[in-house]
Structure formats: C-alpha cells, structure tokens
Amino acid sequence: MKGKNFFIIGFVLVLFGATAQTVTDNRIWTKLTYRHEPSKALDIDLSGLYRSVGGDEGMDRWITEVQVTKKQSKILCYSAEFRHYAIFDDVGATQGTNQRIRFRLNATKGYNLGRDEISMRYGIQHRTVLSGGGSDRTDVRVRGAYTKNIKDWKWDPTIYSEYLGSVNGNLSRRLRIGAESSNKMLGGKVSFGYFYQHNFSLSSPHYHTMTVGYRL
C-alpha cells in the first residue's frame, strides 16, 4: 500500500512539474473595421489589427484583413477571409519584419432560444510563411457560443469556447474560453472581450487576452 501511495504521489508531482514548465502571458488584441454592405445579404469588412505577444512566437504583429460574409438565411452564413501578417521580430541576432498570409473559410449556424441564441462556427484556415521562421500550416476551428439577451441592457454578453487544431505543418492544439460584448456607440459599434487560451503543448505558453474593437 505504501508503494502504491508513493507511486500516486510521484505521478501527481510529475504532472505538476510538467504543468509548471508552461507559463501564462498577458496580451492585448485591438481591431478597427470598416464595413461595406453592397446588399442586405452581403458584408465586406476591411480591418486593421494590432496584437501584442501574438502567435506561437510571442511577438507583436500588425494584421491587414479582408472578410466577405454571405448571409444565406437568418440563421446561416458563410464567410471567406484573407489576412496579411507583419510580425515584428526584435529577438536574437537576426531581427526585422517577417511576412505571412492566411486564408480562412467559415460556416456559422445559429439556433434561437427565445430571447437568447446559440451559434456554432466551423472553419478551416491555411497560413503561408513568406519570410522569417515557422512553417506553413492548416488548422481547423470549431467555436460554440451562447448569447444572453438581457432586458433593458445594451451590452448583451456572449460566452464562447473555441478549439483550434492543426492538421499539418507545425502541429498546435489550442482551446479558448472567453466572453465578449458589443454595443452601438461613438458612431459605430464598440466591442470588448476577454479569453483564456490553453495550449496543449508544454513548449507553448498559455494566454490571458483582452480584446478591444471598433467597427464603422
């Protein structure tokens, strides 16, 4: 019995030690978007994003984004997104700005629950490294969200969870759990949010992320 207890304690200590090797960092993501609506069923978003401590490398970056969304119905939409990344590498002997591009396709379906709503988003994305370190990679993404409609309250909260997993290239698996809200103000739409990102790889840090956005 003593030997069994010793094994269990040792196993727990090993797990704790492995977990302790992964640090948790803080970061801020900002996004400014201009939306053009050619029709009621079509949105074209042009965005600029600045992210501190982003990606697997933990480096600041500027992202230029174009997204086209087609509303198939009130509860179903499809979107295509293109991004260009400028990653500011200020670590090590070789420094500079690294370049990447990424394509993503999404399908989002909503489910009405009276005043509230549940939505599921399924996506696949592929990144290509133009310069700097890293490798080309394809990821799948699955996001579930619940939005609570609060009477006489303009900041309806959305709670969500999203899994991101690579299928080739530099393998990576991440889980995000967070909350966000938005409201029409300042001549546009302002959004705030927070999510915690858990990286299943011990070599990658976890993240606390604050998000701020404004859409014209």
Q: What pLDDT is attached to residue 7? A: 41
pLDDT mean across residues, the chain: 88
* Choice among 18-22, 24-28, 71-75, 100-104 with the minimum mean pLDDT: 18-22
Cβ of 142: how many Cβ atoms within 10 Å?
Answer: 13
- Considering the chain, what percentage of its residues have pLDDT values greater than 90? 71
- pLDDT at residue 151 tops 80: yes
Domains in the chain: ranges and CATH: 25-215 (2.40.128.140)
Q: Give the residue-averaged pLDDT of 7-14.
A: 45
Query: Using 50, 70 and 90 to split pLDDT, how confident is the model at 1?
Result: low
Q: Give the residue-averaged pLDDT of 144-172.
A: 92
The better pLDDT of the pair 57, 14 is held by: 57
Q: How does 16-43 read in b/e, with b if 16+ C-beta sit within 10 Å?
A: eeeeeeeeeeebebebebeeeeeeeeeb
Rounded distance between C-alpha atoms, residue 106 and residue 83, angstroms:
14
Q: What pLDDT is attached to residue 21? A: 52
